């Protein structure tokens, strides 16, 4: 069974630009969650999607948005990039039944904002 894949793996952007990250969950998984990991703040929840609907949202500004497609693939977008957005962005998938089973994480996308 293929694992969670994230593209691209590395990205360098300039302040003010926007970026889109992609996540393909494990086949059959309907829930996709996104996390931001930084040395200072650690792992922070961004949002969760289930069946194309946002099920939960973390405490991030509106510049961070996401969506999920009918095949459960998900994208997250960050507009008007700031230096502080430099981080490892991790995507996780799970069956999404509502009982928190283990989430399977992808390798992450390392975003650097200059």
Binding site residues, other proteins, CB under 8 A: 31, 33, 35, 42-45, 48, 50, 55-56, 58, 88, 90, 92, 94, 96, 98-108
Q: Beta-carbon neighbour count of residue 91 at 10 Å? A: 29
| DSSP SS3 for 74 | strand
What gap in Å lies between CA 33 and CA 54, rounded to an integer? 10
Retrieve residue 42's tokens: 């650690």
Q: How far is the CB of 78 from other proteins (least distance, A)?
A: 19
Closer to other proteins by CB, 1 or 14: give it.
1
Residue with tokens 């390392």: 110
Closer to other proteins by CB, 79 or 86: give it.
86
Per DSSP bridges, beta strands 109-113 and 5-7 are unpaired
Closer to other proteins by CB, 22 or 44: give it.
44
Q: How far is the CB of 106 from other proteins (least distance, A)?
A: 7
């Amino acid at each position: 069974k293929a694992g969670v894949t994230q593209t691209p793996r590395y990205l360098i952007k300039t302040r003010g630009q926007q970026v889109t990250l992609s996540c393909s969950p494990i086949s059959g998984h309907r829930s996709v969650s996104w996390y931001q990991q930084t040395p200072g703040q650690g792992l922070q929840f961004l949002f969760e999607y289930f069946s194309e609907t946002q099920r939960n949202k973390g405490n991030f500004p509106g510049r961070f948005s996401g969506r999920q497609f009918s095949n459960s693939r998900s994208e997250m977008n960050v507009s008007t990039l700031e230096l502080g957005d430099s981080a490892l962005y991790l995507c996780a998938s799970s069956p999404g039944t509502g009982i928190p089973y283990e989430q399977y994480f992808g390798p992450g996308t390392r975003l650097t904002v200059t």
